[in-house]
DNA sequence: GATGAATGAGGGTTCATTCAT
DNA sequence: AATGAATGAACCCTCATTCAT
């Protein structure tokens, strides 16, 4: 935990350093980022960085950890969705849209790209950042898990393992989303988002919708 | 294509440089890798690198391009699978196992991690490396697409868009695979592979199996 | 003025760097000089140079500018000469002697040689170093101009344009002086100096002495 | 003498190298010039340079020596001038104009700048290149010396030492010419040339015109 | 005689880091 | 707590030069 829990130095300077460092690390990677430039960008002496953080790696870890927490706290899905059986497909598609936007959020994507490469070089990142550097957003996934469980209890869905199903839905969104955007390097158009969300929701419901009687008469979307 | 297609210098030295460079770039990233060390590792003078490649960047691009091509050429799936209606679930699970092994192949994963961060910094990579998301294996995916199409034609599956369905299957495997392994940083156990493959195959067939009459009697789920 | 006017770093180190740099640049030229060697000669780390100066070029410009100012400040002619009509030829010859010594001063010559080649490559030098031809000494020339003007006012000389005449006198000294010494590369003997000064003074007075009545009886020549 | 008198290799390639080298050395100085770039500019392998010349210095010396000879051979003054007493001032001014153009010739100036700095570093240049690297043009000066001697014999001028007088005339032209042009870095306008030539001729004749009877009534040009 | 390939040394510059204030 | 000054190592790259073809 180190630097993050025992901040030394004036908090304002510390925050300026972390902001500048986050941008630098995201832009240039760990080795590519320069403490000189970070200090200049933060309007701070270089030594001040060393007063706040143990060294370059310490700064890096603190920045990533803070950003992860912050991003996760900001990502949520419209809580009114998936609460009733009607509009099931529409609601799930809407959830897909929102999840996509959360998962492909610019800052989160940049962070994820950073983690993906640096975790292999800095193993402590894995421990600090909720595993794997995968960069999914725990809160939103937990929320979806809960909804799926409730819908199953309500007889609307037939999901044996809600956590697994939630992960599958996220996978159906995230994987093509990352492929299409080069891991968040470019943005998706509204049409692309719509298409991905619809496709995932359709596929998902085709497998997990509970009423087999409806199945034969189901007019599955294209 | 540049340096990769107009090799100058003795091919042996060139190959040694590329091998050493691939390892260095994978290990330390683009900025982290040192040409000095690459030269030493390749048993070559530093200037020799510049005799073969224009730049550090030129070397990087050549290395990545070559590795991509090579990896893709080596990755294939057992061609006898998914050729008959019987053993559908077993075969699809086997395909999932093999795809997982291909997709999480150590070298391919390392390359993917490299690309994920560096594409943002070297846009040429996207153009050269086909999709830049870096890291699915075109040949294997094409193979699966073809199999799904044929099975649909044969009435075994009900897949409207085989390409999309193949991508979905890959997503169901790759996304959790990458999460669990920190993008290929650690290896999956056989049990984990089995579980992922089974889960994906089950989910996939639940949605795409063509005979609804079988649906009610299906003993699905792990 | 740039680096020269905003000195950062301990002035002592800065001065040591500039001294070492002046010697190196004079000895080896701009491209020939090595910052490594300058740092060693100055007893300073190489990075310290970059702490004080923006660049190799920045260092070069600062060094040349400072040296020019310093050299000019040190060069003067015996102020008691050319103040009375008597001893006109002797005084002018003495002025010639002293001007020669000033103009062929070792440091000034070295600086001039440096400027002559580098001005073409670093145009800023021309602006910074007053005329860039590099190497006459403004203060001494101004002094002579004033003396010639006063002697003309006193009726001793018949000089229409004192500034032009001063330049001519300097030309009569400098040009052969530079030729004979390979632009200050070797030193003149006292005899050579005497000969040049006498020749220039004789020639000059032959043209500019005011009393034509004296002309016929003049015992000129060496 | 070395390379210049015992040329090895195909003369065409040798000439291409020398031409490229002359430009490079003039542009960038001895240390600044790169054999790599010279080879490319000459359309020749680098090793070919070493087949023709001993090393970088050998190439440099050969280039400078050849250029000096060539430039001198091309510089001459209108031989019909200064042959009769009439039009003395006009002729001498015309000689001044032509000498200025010769002395400030672009190539000669560039060569002179090169020599001025490099002679100190390569003493053999002084021996090979007619002393001092001063860069006057022997043939033209000899011509003027002869003319002044003949005019003195003819009673038109009163020059005791024609060689010294010729040098003085050259000094009166060259020195301001080099100052004004930053040693040949920029070109003089016709007006500037005219002014310099007139000034030198006027000054020269004021001192050396033989007829003192004319002196009092002389209306010396401004 | 001419080449392409290779070398080792050194170029200028910037790095992460520490000391003194 | 914060700074400016300084460090030594390492960075990528290019140098003049030689070897083998």
Is residue C17's pLDDT more than 60? yes
Note whether D216 and C212 are within 8 A (CB).
yes
Q: Which residues of D122-152 are buried (b: 16+ CB within 10 A; e: fewer)?
A: beebbebbbebbbbbbeebbebbbebbbebb
Q: How far is B31 from chain A (nearest CA, A)?
A: 5
| Strand E, CB < 7 A, residues 51-70 of D | 51-52
Helix axes A88-103, A138-153, angle to 10 degrees: 170
At C132 the pLDDT is: 46
For A97-131, what is each residue's pLDDT tens digit?
A: 999 999 999 999 999 889 888 888 887 777 666 55
Instruction: Give the A:B interface size as CB pairs under 8 Å.
Output: 121
Q: D30, C30: Cβ pair inside 8 Å?
A: no
Going along C33-169, which residue ranges are E strands?
none
Average pLDDT, chain C: 86
Is C24 or D7 the better-scoring residue by pLDDT?
A: C24
Asked if strand F contacts C189 at the CB level, meaning under 7 A, the answer is: no
Asked if strand E contacts D48 at the CB level, meaning under 7 A, the answer is: yes
The mean per-residue pLDDT over the stretch D110-115 comes to 90
At C133 the pLDDT is: 47
Closest CA to C183 of D171, D135, D163, D166: D135
Dist CA D181 CA D183 (whole Å):
5
- Which CATH entry fits the domain spanning D78-105+134-210: 3.40.50.2300, 3.20.20.70, 1.10.357.10, 3.10.20.30? 1.10.357.10
Q: Which of B121, B182, B207 sits opposite A207 (nearest CB)?
A: B207
- What is the CA A74 to chain-centroid distance, rounded? 10
Nucleotides in F strand less than 7 A from protein CB: 1-20
Q: How far is B173 from chain A (nearest CA, A)?
A: 8
What six digits make up the tokens of C72? Answer: 């000019």
CA of A13 to C1' of F6 (A): 24
Closest CA to D63 of D134, D140, D128, D137: D128
Asked if strand E contacts D103 at the CB level, meaning under 7 A, the answer is: no
Closest residue (CA) to C1' of nucleotide E11 is C34
The mean per-residue pLDDT over the stretch B1-28 comes to 77
| Strand F, CB < 7 A, residues 35-94 of D | 35-37, 46-47, 50, 55-57
Dist CA D64 CA C45 (whole Å):
38
Q: A216, B216: Cβ pair inside 8 Å?
A: no
% helix, strand, coil for chain B, step of 5: 70, 0, 30
Q: How far is B15 from chain A (nearest CA, A)?
A: 25
Nearest chain C residue to D180, by CA: C133
Handedness of CA C93, C98, C103, C106 (dihedral sign): positive
Average pLDDT, chain A: 86
At C5 the pLDDT is: 43
What pLDDT band is residue D174 in, cutting at 50, 70 and 90?
Answer: very high
Q: B207, A206: Cβ pair inside 8 Å?
A: yes
For C110-164, what is each residue's pLDDT tens digit?
A: 998 998 888 888 877 777 665 544 567 778 889 999 999 999 999 999 999 999 9
Q: Which residues of D17-30 are buried (b: 16+ CB within 10 A; e: fewer)?
A: bbebbbbbbbebbb
Nearest chain C residue to D114, by CA: C117
Closest CA to B214 of B150, B165, B156: B156
Architecture of domain B1-74: Orthogonal Bundle (1.10)
| Chain C residues close to D204, C-beta within 8 Å | 207
For B170-179, what is each residue's pLDDT tens digit?
A: 999 999 999 9
Asked if strand F contacts C47 at the CB level, meaning under 7 A, the answer is: yes
At B72 the pLDDT is: 82
At D131 the pLDDT is: 52
At B7 the pLDDT is: 52
Q: Which of A31, A113, A168 sits opposite B203 (nearest CB)?
A: A168
For residue C142, count other CB atoms closer than 10 A to its CB: 12
The number of residues making up chain C comes to 222
At C216 the pLDDT is: 45
How far, in Å, are A184, C89, D74, D100, D135 from residue D184 at the CA level?
59, 34, 18, 11, 12
How far, in Å, are B85, B102, B198, C198 from residue B89 at the CA level?
9, 20, 8, 114
What six digits make up the tokens of C60? Answer: 């070069």
| Chain C residues close to D178, C-beta within 8 Å | 133
Note whether B60 and B122 are within 8 A (CB).
yes
What pLDDT band is residue A135 in, cutting at 50, 70 and 90?
Answer: low
Is residue B131's pLDDT more than 70? no
For A28-80, what is each residue's pLDDT tens digit?
A: 999 999 999 999 999 999 999 999 999 999 999 999 989 988 888 888 899 99
Is residue D1's pLDDT more than 70? no
Closest residue (CA) to C1' of nucleotide F19 is D47
Nearest chain A residue to B127, by CA: A182
Asked if strand E contacts B52 at the CB level, meaning under 7 A, the answer is: yes
For D17-56, what is each residue's pLDDT tens digit?
A: 999 999 999 999 999 999 999 999 999 999 999 999 999 9
Q: For chain A, how many helices (H) and strands (E)?
A: 11, 0
Closest CA to C25 of C5, C41, C12: C41
The mean per-residue pLDDT over the stretch C163-178 comes to 95
By three-state DSSP, how is residue C209 classified?
A: strand
Q: C132, D171: Cβ pair inside 8 Å?
A: no
% helix, strand, coil for chain C, step of 5: 70, 0, 30
The mean per-residue pLDDT over the stretch B60-69 comes to 90
Nucleotides in E strand less than 7 A from protein CB: 1-20
Dist CA A121 CA A60 (whole Å):
12
The DSSP annotation for B19-51 comes to: HHHHHHHHHHHHHH--HHHHHHHHTS-HHHHHH
How far, in Å, are C151, C215, D157, D201 from residue D210 at the CA level?
26, 12, 4, 14
Is B95 or C131 the better-scoring residue by pLDDT?
A: B95
Closest CA to A172 of A135, A205, A212: A205
How far, in Å, are B75, B137, B148, B162, B206 from residue B144 at the CA level?
13, 11, 6, 9, 18
- Which residues, at least 6 apart from A219, have a Cβ–Cβ distance to it below 8 Å? none
Is residue A26's pLDDT more than 90? yes
The DSSP bridge partners found for residue D157 are: D209
The mean per-residue pLDDT over the stretch C183-193 comes to 93
Instruction: Break chain A into its structural domains and give their ranges.
Output: 1-74, 78-105+134-210
CA of A46 to C1' of E17 (A): 10
- What is the CA A101 to chain-centroid distance, rounded? 9
Dist CA D151 CA D95 (whole Å):
14
At D214 the pLDDT is: 46
């Amino acid at each position: 935990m180190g630097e993050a829990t025992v901040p030394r130095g004036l908090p304002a300077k510390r925050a300026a350093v972390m902001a500048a460092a986050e941008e630098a690390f995201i832009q240039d990677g760990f080795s590519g980022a320069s403490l000189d430039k970070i200090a200049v960008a933060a309007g701070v002496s270089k030594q001040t960085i060393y007063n706040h953080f143990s060294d370059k790696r310490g700064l890096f870890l603190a920045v990533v950890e803070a950003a992860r927490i912050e991003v996760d706290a900001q990502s949520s899905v419209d809580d009114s969705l998936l609460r009733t059986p009607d509009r099931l497909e529409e609601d799930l598609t809407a959830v897909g849209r929102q999840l996509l936007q959360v998962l492909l959020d610019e800052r989160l994507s940049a962070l994820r790209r950073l983690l993906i490469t640096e975790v292999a070089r800095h193993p402590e990142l894995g421990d600090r950042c909720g595993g794997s550097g995968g960069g999914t957003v725990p809160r939103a996934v937990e929320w979806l898990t809960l909804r799926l469980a409730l819908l199953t209890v309500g007889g609307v869905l037939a999901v044996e393992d809600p956590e697994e199903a939630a992960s599958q839905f996220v996978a159906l969104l995230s994987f093509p989303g990352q492929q299409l955007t080069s891991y968040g390097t470019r943005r998706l158009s509204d049409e692309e988002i719509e298409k991905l969300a619809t496709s995932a929701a359709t596929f998902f419901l085709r497998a997990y919708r509970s009423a087999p009687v409806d199945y034969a008469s189901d007019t599955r979307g294209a």
